[in-house]
Amino acid sequence: MKAYELRTESGVTTLSMVERAQPVAGRGEVVVRMRAASLNYRDLIISKAPRSAPLIPLCDGAGEVVEAGPGVSDIKAGDRVAGTYFQDWVSGPLNPGVLRTVLGQNIDGVLAEYVALKEHGVVRVPAHLSFEEAATLPCAALTAWQALVTEGRIKAGDTVVVMGTGGVSIFALQFALMCGARVIATTGTDSKLERLRALGAAAVINYKTTPEWDKTVLELTGGVGADHIVEVGGAGTLPRSLRAVRHGGFVSLIGVLGGAGEKFSPGSIILKGVRLQGIFVGSREMFEDMNRAIALSAMRPVVDRTYQFEEAAAALAFLESGRHFGKICIRV
């Protein structure tokens, strides 16, 4: 079968298409004929990092099950599934053991024609989604879901701030609307403002031309602040997020896009009683909850562009350009 491998030689990591043996389903495993994969910001970092052994990249993929190994009881051949980001995080809180089971990071990922996954490492995907759409769910969508729904306990009427127009933020916008919340969306690109409005953002802010976007959020909320901030900027944006959130509001710490930031004091977290929560993708149980909500609401992920299998390097380059809106997919 065809697959991609990341391999480090003379200190340089490269991505190339290779021939590998087609996997066979072991005990408790299923083999998935991958039909689509999707990119995340982390794949850019992983594609440049030095490796001691070759690795099939990407954590996000969907396809159909072609073989179920001995001991597999629930998933069967023909099921349309996506792999879970952490192969071993089934339910309950995050634990150190599952950190070693990340697709396309410590174990081979999904950018291949066939992939063997644990039965508990796949979930059935909503029937109305194409394979490309389903491939966007395992990382970005689940992260946004855990942030707003599982941990954030979002309510109708809440105000949610989402930052930029990458995968996590666009899913956060869609889930917030699904739950009856109002969305204030930011972007650093003027041409994306209209697309955010068209998706349902009640207000949009260009964080480059309005660097003090936290003040705009306060104005838009009558001086109170937002109920939720989906924080993908990290140190570079956290001080503003803490100014833009309401007393008792929720800041989900997800990403590091904003680089180094101003010095900030934890005092505001205490004085405002802010809930600050680290979010790391999510468990299989959260994935199933999210899929039920996506199916019921007929929500469709926003796929900016789909590349052919031979164009994986071009897909990564497009992600790096930051010109995308939502998700980038690769057809397998």
Ligand X SMILES: NC(=O)c1ccc[n+]([C@@H]2O[C@H](COP(=O)([O-])OP(=O)(O)OC[C@H]3O[C@@H](n4cnc5c(N)ncnc54)[C@H](OP(=O)(O)O)[C@@H]3O)[C@@H](O)[C@H]2O)c1
Site for ligand X in 147-166 (CB under 6 A): 163-166
Q: Is 174 in the site for ligand X (CB under 6 A)?
A: no
Stretch that binds ligand X, among 35-43, 63-71, 126-134, 283-291 (CB under 6 A): 35-43
Q: Please identify which residue in 150, 187, 216, 221 interacts with ligand X, judged by CB under 6 A.
A: 187
DSSP result, 122-133:
EEEPPTTS-HHH
Q: Please identify which residue in 37, 254, 329, 330 interacts with ligand X, judged by CB under 6 A.
A: 254
The token duo for 291 is: 């899929």
Residues 6+ apart with CB under 8 A from 42: 59, 105, 139
C-alpha distance from residue 303 to each of 10, 131, 190, 263, 327 (Å):
36, 11, 19, 37, 5
C-alpha distance from residue 311 to each of 114, 229, 316 (Å):
18, 35, 9
Q: Please identify which residue in 57, 138, 258, 301 interacts with ligand X, judged by CB under 6 A.
A: 258
Tell me, what amino acid is at 228? H
DSSP state of 255: -
Q: Is 290 in the site for ligand X (CB under 6 A)?
A: no
3-class secondary structure, 113: coil
Q: Is 30 in the site for ligand X (CB under 6 A)?
A: no
Burial class (CB in 10 A: 0-12, 13-18, 19+), 304: middle
Q: Is 256 in the site for ligand X (CB under 6 A)?
A: yes
Q: Is 104 in the site for ligand X (CB under 6 A)?
A: no
* Residue 43 vs 119, nearer CB to ligand X: 43
Q: Work out how close the CB of 28 gets to ligand X at its nearest, in angstroms, rounded to a whole number.
A: 26
Stretch that binds ligand X, among 20-28, 34-42, 53-61, 294-302 (CB under 6 A): 34-42
Q: Please identify which residue in 63, 233, 249, 301 interacts with ligand X, judged by CB under 6 A.
A: 233
Identify how many contiguous H helices and E strands the chain contains and give both numbers: 10, 15
Q: Please identify which residue in 86, 131, 175, 207 interacts with ligand X, judged by CB under 6 A.
A: 207
* Residue 177 vs 254, nearer CB to ligand X: 254
Q: Work out how close the CB of 243 gets to ligand X at its nearest, in angstroms, rounded to a whole number.
A: 15
Rg (CA), the chain: 20
3-class secondary structure, 138: helix
Q: Which helix (H) or strand (E) holds 18?
A: strand 12-19
Stretch that binds ligand X, among 188-196, 211-219, 266-274, 293-301 (CB under 6 A): 188-196
Stretch that binds ligand X, among 92-100, 121-129, 254-262, 267-275 (CB under 6 A): 254-262
The token duo for 235 is: 């140190």
Q: Is 81 in the site for ligand X (CB under 6 A)?
A: no
> Which residue lies nearest ligand X, judged by its C-beta?
166
Q: Is 34 in the site for ligand X (CB under 6 A)?
A: no
Q: Work out how close the CB of 169 gets to ligand X at its nearest, in angstroms, rounded to a whole number.
A: 6
Residues 6+ apart with CB under 8 A from 27: 69, 70, 71
Distance CA 176, CA 294 (A): 12
Q: Work out how close the CB of 199 gets to ligand X at its nearest, in angstroms, rounded to a whole number.
A: 12
Distance CA 67, CA 39 (A): 26
Site string for ligand X, 41-80 (x = CB under 6 A): xx--------------------------------------
Beta bridge partners of 60: 38
Give contact residues for ligand X (rule: CB under 6 A): 40-42, 139-140, 143, 163-169, 187-189, 192, 207, 232-233, 236-237, 254-258, 279-281, 319, 322
